Amino acid sequence: MGAYVSRNLGDVAIQLAVMGALKARRPDIEFVGLCQDPADAVQLFRIPAMPSSGEAEMLRPVPGDTSIPAPPTNPERGRVSRLLARLPALARIRREMRALDMLLISGSGQIDDFWGGPWAQPYNMMMWSWLARRQNKPVAVFGVGVDELSTRLGERFCLRTLNAAQLCVVRDPGSRDALEKMGYRLPVDVCADPAFHLSGSGKQPDDPPYAVISPISRRAWPGAEDESFDRYLTALAEVADQLQSQGVQVRFACSQIKMDPPVAARVRERMKGDRDRAPLVEVKTVDEYLAAVAGARVVVGSRLHALILATVAGTPAVAVSAVRKVHQLFADMGMTDLSFDMHALDVATLVRRVQEVVREPEKSRQRVRAVAAEFAAQLDARFDRLAALIPARASMA
């Protein structure tokens, strides 16, 4: 179960890593996707999938058919209609949970009510976990983070989910601290984001040298676009210009392939250098993003998984972000010198740090590889614990 869609490569990377690690430990395992867009999940992972809301039936892949199944229709409803729709949805969740052996809530910032409010993912997680426990099925919460949880009702729903879990692993110390502040008192394990369990190519930096800039949409966190975001766009353009002036090619590549490319176009428009030599590389899959960044001298990015996947690829990254989870990642990696606050951005220092990384590519890569190997080892131990929870029968979600 997760808030994953194919247009967000970070979400996809997490689920690929989790499914791959569990399949390696339990070859008999079968997966069912519980998500926001089951048609997307069926095509992407080739597994059965249904809406985590329970408001539509299960979709199943057809062997040899790679077309996208028709998604369930979700007509606009008034408040009363939405409440009435939850009754058959609850019955459907109960029925489907009976067919499963375990509920796994994996990855992403799912302790969150920013996207849809408390009656979206927080409520859905609570209902699935509550019914799983009533049926004596194990529940695990693995590799999740606390993002924007701003309502008391959202907190209550999330706490009930966590209280139902036999295993709770969060992706950073800040998420653990946030759970404790909410009133969660059961043991919480802290480990690296599951995407660190993916394998990089080990590719060496390309010649002539190039760098990748991976911007983020302002829609990714609460509030309206302001002066700090405008300065952020200008700062990325300045980084691109400085790199070009030193003979480093600039490329743009985005890990959120719908929201972020228009922002990359805005950065390119602000460049004073040769925009035609700063292309936007089209990527649609995790492998394509890894390939785009693997030979780079540096990735200057803002999304959590744009930076994590760069690290997985063995490429040094410099972060410019407005959110806690990115700065926490760089603190966990021991690289706070390479993390910049978007709201208090010193452009001269940012440019200098990027130049330092580009000038010493092998030193920077060794630092990154050591961190990636350490985090992958941490995840191995946690995946062993997670696999041990899976019942003897060969199906789960």
DSSP letter for each residue of 36-80 = S-HHHHHHHH-S-EEETT--SPPB-PPTT--SPPPPPP-----HH
pLDDT above 60: residue 81: no
Please, which pLDDT band fits residue 73 given cuts at 50, 70 and 90? low
pLDDT value at residue 84: 61
The sign of the dihedral angle between the CA atoms of 12, 39, 2, 32 is: negative
Distance CA 119, CA 154 (A): 8
User: What percent of the chain is modeled with pLDDT above 70?
Assistant: 93
Q: Mark whether 29 and 143 lie in a shared domain.
A: yes
pLDDT value at residue 380: 98
3-state secondary structure of 105: strand
For the whole model, what pTM was predicted? Answer: 0.93
8 A C-beta contact, residue 229 and residue 236? no
Mean pLDDT of 366-388: 96
Q: Mark whether 337 and 384 lie in a shared domain.
A: no
Q: At what angle do helices 324-332 and 173-182 cross, to 10 degrees?
A: 130
Q: Mark whether 124 and 222 lie in a shared domain.
A: no
Q: Mark whether 179 and 266 lie in a shared domain.
A: no
| CA 143 centroid distance within chain | 10
3-state secondary structure of 338: helix
Q: Mark whether 108 and 234 lie in a shared domain.
A: no
pLDDT above 80: residue 82: no
pLDDT above 70: residue 395: no
Q: Residue 317 burial by CB count (10 A; 0-12/13-18/19+): exposed, middle or buried?
A: buried
User: Would 4 be classed as within a structural domain?
Assistant: no
State the pairing for strand pair 249-252/33-35.
unpaired
Summarize pLDDT for 5-28 with one digit per residue, the tens. 999 999 999 999 999 999 999 999
pLDDT value at residue 393: 64
Question: Looking at per-residue confidence, does 76 or 139 come out higher?
Answer: 139
8 A C-beta contact, residue 166 and residue 389? yes
* CATH code at position 306: 3.40.50.2000
User: Would 99 be classed as within a structural domain?
Assistant: yes
User: Would 334 be classed as within a structural domain?
Assistant: yes
pLDDT value at residue 200: 84
User: Would 394 be classed as within a structural domain?
Assistant: no
pLDDT above 70: residue 338: yes
pLDDT above 60: residue 163: yes
Q: How many domains does the chain have?
A: 2
pLDDT above 90: residue 207: no
Mean pLDDT of 189-215: 92
Q: Mark whether 33 and 111 lie in a shared domain.
A: yes
One-character DSSP codes across 214-253:
E---GGGSSS---HHHHHHHHHHHHHHHHHHHTT-EEEE-
pLDDT value at residue 394: 44
8 A C-beta contact, residue 309 and residue 10? yes
Mean pLDDT of 197-219: 90
pLDDT value at residue 69: 59
Summarize pLDDT for 270-305 with one digit per residue, the tens. 999 999 999 999 999 999 999 999 999 999 999 999
Q: Mark whether 264 and 125 lie in a shared domain.
A: no
Q: Mark whether 118 and 236 lie in a shared domain.
A: no
Question: Looking at per-residue confidence, does 252 or 84 come out higher?
Answer: 252
pLDDT above 70: residue 222: yes
pLDDT above 70: residue 131: yes
User: Would 3 be classed as within a structural domain?
Assistant: no
Average pLDDT over the chain, rounded to an integer = 92
Q: Mark whether 168 and 243 lie in a shared domain.
A: no
User: Would 204 be classed as within a structural domain?
Assistant: no
3-state secondary structure of 141: strand
Residue-range definition of the domain harbouring residue 243:
210-374
pLDDT value at residue 148: 83
Where is average pLDDT lowest: 205-209, 210-214, 336-340?
205-209
Q: Mark whether 151 and 230 lie in a shared domain.
A: no
Mean pLDDT of 97-116: 92
User: What percent of the chain is modeled with pLDDT above 90?
Assistant: 83
User: Would 228 be classed as within a structural domain?
Assistant: yes
3-state secondary structure of 198: coil
Residues with Cβ within 8 Å of 120's Cβ and at least 6 positions away in sequence, in order, are 53, 113
Mean pLDDT of 155-164: 97
Cis peptide before 391, with omega less than 30 degrees from 0? Answer: no
Q: Among 4, 221, 192, 7, which Cα is nearest to 104's? A: 4
Distance CA 54, CA 34 (A): 9
**Per DSSP, what are the bridge partners of residue 341?**
321
Q: Among 259, 257, 154, 145, which Cα is nearest to 192's? A: 145
pLDDT above 70: residue 74: no
Please, which pLDDT band fits residue 203 given cuts at 50, 70 and 90? confident
8 A C-beta contact, residue 314 and residue 368? yes
Residue 36 sits at φ, ψ, to 5 deg, of -80, -30
Distance CA 276, CA 111 (A): 41
Question: Strands (DSSP E) along the chain, which ranges?
Answer: 33-35, 49-51, 103-106, 139-144, 167-170, 189-190, 210-214, 249-252, 299-301, 317-321, 339-341
User: Would 203 be classed as within a structural domain?
Assistant: no
Q: Mark whether 154 and 254 lie in a shared domain.
A: no
Q: Mark whether 159 and 240 lie in a shared domain.
A: no
Summarize pLDDT for 306-319 with one digit per residue, the tens. 999 999 999 999 99
pLDDT value at residue 397: 44
pLDDT value at residue 396: 43
Summarize pLDDT for 35-68 with one digit per residue, the tens. 999 999 999 999 999 999 999 999 999 877 666 5
